[in-house]
Amino acid sequence: MKSGYYFSLDALLGAMLLMLGLLMLSSTYIKEETATTTYLAQDTLTLMSGIKVSEINNSYLTALIANGTVTNSNITVLEQIGALWAENKTDYARQLIMNLTGEFIPENVGFAVYADNELIYSNNLSQKSSLYVTKALVSGISKDKPYKGYSSRMALTSVQARTTNSYLYFGGFTGEGNITQRMELPQKITSITEAYIEAESSNNFTLIINSAESGKYTTSGGVGKWNISSVQNFRNGTNTIKIAFNGTGYISGGFLKVKLTTGELNDTEAGYFQTTAAKREWLPGIEGIINIYSSIYIPGNISTMTAHLHYNSPYLTFMTIGNSTVYSSQAGGAVTADITNTEMAAKLNYTALGQRTIPLRIGSGSGNQTITGAGTADVVLANDLSGSMEWCSGTICSTSVLGPQKYCNTIANYRPENGTYCDWWTENYTIPGQGPVCSGRWHAHCTSNDSRKIDIALNASKIFGSTILGTAGNRLGVVEYTNQWNAVIPANGTWTNRYAPFPDSIAGRENLTDNLSIINSHIETYMDAYWGTCICCGVEASVDILTKLSNTSRKRSMVVMSDGEATDKCTGVGTGNAKTDAIEAAQDACTNYNITVYTVGFGTDVDAETLQDMAACNGSYYNATNVTQLAEVYRQIAGELVAISYSAQQINISGTGNTNTTLYDDSYIEINYTPAQTAEFNRIPVTLETDRFGNNITTGTVTIPENATITAARVTSYSGNKWTDNLTVNGQKAFSLSDWGNDYVTLGDPFIADSPASLLHTGDNGILIKTATGPGNASGGSPDNRAIYTLNIDTTTSYTQSQSTSEGCHWQLQFEDGSSTTIKIPADYSGTKTCNYQTASYSATDSIDVSAYSLFQKLDLEKNGKLNIILSQEDINIETATVQGVPSLWGPAVIEARVWQ
């Protein structure tokens, strides 16, 4: 006891009566009854909250201490009254208030005490005048909660097993032919509860697991899901999975999922929580045509990378990682190739590859292959037939009337052979519906190692046509443009205009067709050199074909080639300038009709600036300054346009003899890296998946519980006739295929787009994934897309709130694999109390039970009353820590003193 602070009841009452007397005297003198009653209420609470139980000498209070009702003498009187009320010992609280206040509250003054608006004590005097209330807050108390009691925490240090999912992923395109892939499962499998394949397969197939036939499956188009009943064919560790098609076939994205329980606490893919790690990416075995569009992902910073390729092919075989071809060989027959880290590092920037989805492309047959699929491209090729197209591409031809030139005459109808001019009225060459026309086709005499530009363009146009129409479903139209007027001729010594054979400046036009013979015949007939260059006229004619003969469901494009600059205007555009007319016409085609415009500069005299400004709607300008490059430029553009029509990245190899190739399933890429995430103790990894997103935008949500840390997140993407183009997580870029290049045909097509774990957070995370045929034309994806993610589950609990008991219970538990058990917590519990997690049946006043229930909630990831982590009495080790006499954190409660007269 503290000297000077010990009060007998008489002294306490004396002090209160003295204060009351002074207040009443003041009240009588000043005639302020209001102040008297207000001060009485305030001072009563002030005294009760300022004096400890140990400082009161009162027989009733002493008796409560003696019988154990009051156990703590170091709290204030007000706290003790609140504690008795909270523990439902209201009678004791009432008697204590009456003992302490009954002798100094005047008989004509009403007095009552409330806790959280619940009456504890009242002298039951009727209220005749005003009511005055004073309040005080008492922390650590709440109704039906102990003022001090027990607090417990738990830590799960070992388990029998955990329920998780293991996946084998197929790339955006895997084929063509039977597929064999390795699937790694845990070394300690307790049971397998479910297995199925979800994939977009081109043909019916037989599934073979570890050489055992495991079912025949029929595809009906689109994404299918097939349950695997022969789960007994899976085994611990490495499994060999074979897809044997009924004929040829391929898979355009998909996965095999095995839901299992395992005694291993770490995933088979090591490395997330080590200081260094290694990852071996097994490549799929292919029997038929090696053709893989896929991706890889490294969850950290790469230190070294190697590869082992084992294949058999008579053709060139290559592997591209990102946008770099790390292997290419024409060696025929059986080949084993080991690509060293030195070779890899010379072609790849390791720093730029960490924590990124990296496109992977592997193929065989380049130079002997064509791409086929369900085409949706409608294209018009618009070629310049101005007079300069008659020029030789690089040498001086025979001397003309104007001297040595790359062209043999400046006037298209001049004949250097005999020094005469042709008369278009008498020549045999005829424009249908317009009459005979004299061109300059036969004028140029190039050297033996040179060619006229018009002939180069003719051959390049045929290559363009064969590439576009090599994909079934695509269509091609052709336009040849010059200007309205024929060149002037001498008549009576005066140069005069004589005839306008092309009123619309279009020398030739072929509507959209899928017949290559028609296109080639048109090109051979109409590819002549004429006069001026009305580029906007060629654009308008192309737009006319595409808008009248195509529709918005098709991918509409035009390719405009010119070897010079625009010389003629278009009345329909009306800018007043030939160059700006060309630009406006091209931009209008994009804006008004969503037509993609590609432009090509042919030769050294091109107006590159105008052609660059014409490229629109994600089209590009290509420079064939060296005219011999035109065929390659046309081939490149055609290849890009072909990409939009793929139903899959399928290859047909032409040639004689054996066209089959094989990639063996012992091929792999191996990466050593430093993981981006550090170790976390007392956490268990579990892999989960969302439902299918179910929309074509494609958006979804991944929800991360508070007790978990996300270590891996990936989104599936059935890209169909496009490529997986972009993944954003919470509005931030996680993947963009255009980062790796503009020609998607040459890049891998990820079925799995990974996201760095750092982009996700606790709670809901927004996912958006898109597909495209090239940069800038992205659209939504498949409703079958979903997210697959790995969580590290926290297996510890914090100390509970103070509870009145700490005993334990027999817990009945159900698990995700369908099993159940009953365990004692703590292990030495000897009572008879039964608790059930699924029905939330447990004692809310037992600190051990409350802590156990909190732990089970963390292990129930689907929140369905079933634990993902399997526990048994024999294997479980739950460390339970209990502390007695812990002050409560409940409340605060509001204690009121009410006074009235």
Amino acid at 21: G
Name which of 138-142, 585-589, 783-787 the model is least confident about.
Answer: 138-142
Residue 308, phi then psi, degrees to nearest 5: -125, 120
Return the number of other C-beta atoms located less than 10 Å from residue 146's C-beta: 23
- In angstroms, the CA 313 to CA 365 distance is 8
Enumerate the β-bridge partners of residue 150.
803, 884
Per-residue model confidence as pLDDT tens digits over 268-317 = 443 334 567 899 999 999 999 999 999 999 999 999 999 999 999 988 89
Distance of CA 542 to the CA centre of its chain: 39
Compute the distance between CA of residue 173 and CA of residue 744 in angstroms, rounded to an integer. 13
Residue 622: pLDDT band (50, 70, 90) is very high
Task: Kindly report whether the peptide bond that precedes residue 510 is cis, defined as omega within 30 degrees of 0.
Answer: no
Instruction: Tell me 692's DSSP state.
Output: P
3-class secondary-structure state, position 239? strand
Across the range 888-894, mean pLDDT stands at: 66
Confidence of residue 25 (pLDDT cuts 50, 70, 90): very low
The whole-number pLDDT of residue 424 equals 37
Q: Is pLDDT above 70 for 449?
A: no
- Give 403 or 826, the one with higher predicted confidence: 826
pLDDT of residue 588: 95
660 class by beta-carbon count within 10 Å (0-12 exposed, 13-18 middle, 19+ buried): middle
pLDDT for the residue numbered 891: 59
518 in Cβ contact with 555 (< 8 Å) = no
Q: Point out the least confidently predicted range of 41-50, 769-778, 796-805.
A: 41-50
Residue whose token pair is 């809310």: 844
pLDDT tier, 47 (very low <50, low <70, confident <90, very high otherwise): confident
Tokens of 341: 């880290």
173 Cβ neighbours under 8 A, 6+ residues apart = 250, 251, 252, 253, 291, 292, 293, 294, 648, 649, 650, 749
Label residue 108 by pLDDT band (50, 70, 90).
confident
pLDDT digits (tens, 9 = 90+) for 723-779: 999 999 999 999 999 999 988 888 999 999 999 999 999 999 999 999 987 787 788
Please state whether the peptide bond connecting residue 240 to the residue before it is cis, i.e. omega within 30 degrees of 0: no
Cis peptide before 685 (omega within 30 of 0): no
pTM of the model: 0.57
**pLDDT at residue number 496:** 46
Predicted local confidence at residue 133, as pLDDT = 76
CA angle 253, 788, 250 (to 5 degrees): 10
pLDDT band at 321 (very low <50, low <70, confident <90, very high): very high
Most confident of 146-150, 239-243, 673-677: 239-243
Residue with tokens 């025929």: 332
Query: Is the pLDDT score of 495 beyond 70?
Result: no
Mean pLDDT of 236-261: 94
Residue 62 gets the label, from left (phi > 0), alpha (psi -120 to 50) or beta, of: alpha
End-to-end CA distance of the chain: 38
Looking at residue 543, its pLDDT comes to 96
Q: Identify the helix (H) or strand (E) that includes residue 421.
A: strand 420-421
Paired strand residues for 408? none
Greatest alpha-carbon span in the chain: 146
Place of tokens 């890209």: 719
pLDDT in tens, 12-24: 444 444 344 433 3
The pLDDT tens digits for 691-729 are 999 988 899 999 998 888 898 999 999 987 789 999 999
- In order, the DSSP letters of 517-558 are HHHHHHHHHH----S---HHHHHHHHHHHHHHH--TTSEEEE
Q: Of all residues in the chain, what percent carry a pLDDT higher than 90?
A: 44
Q: What's the DSSP call for residue 713?
A: E
CA–CA distance, 462 with 816 (Å, rounded to integer): 63
Of the listed ranges 43-57, 75-89, 454-468, the least confidently predicted one is 43-57
834 pLDDT exceeds 90? yes
- 3-state secondary structure at position 747: coil
Both tokens of 347, joined, read 């072609």
pLDDT value, residue 221: 74
Q: Give 451's pLDDT tier (boundaries 50, 70, 90).
A: confident
Q: Which amino acid is at 756?
A: P
Burial class (CB in 10 A: 0-12, 13-18, 19+), 120: buried
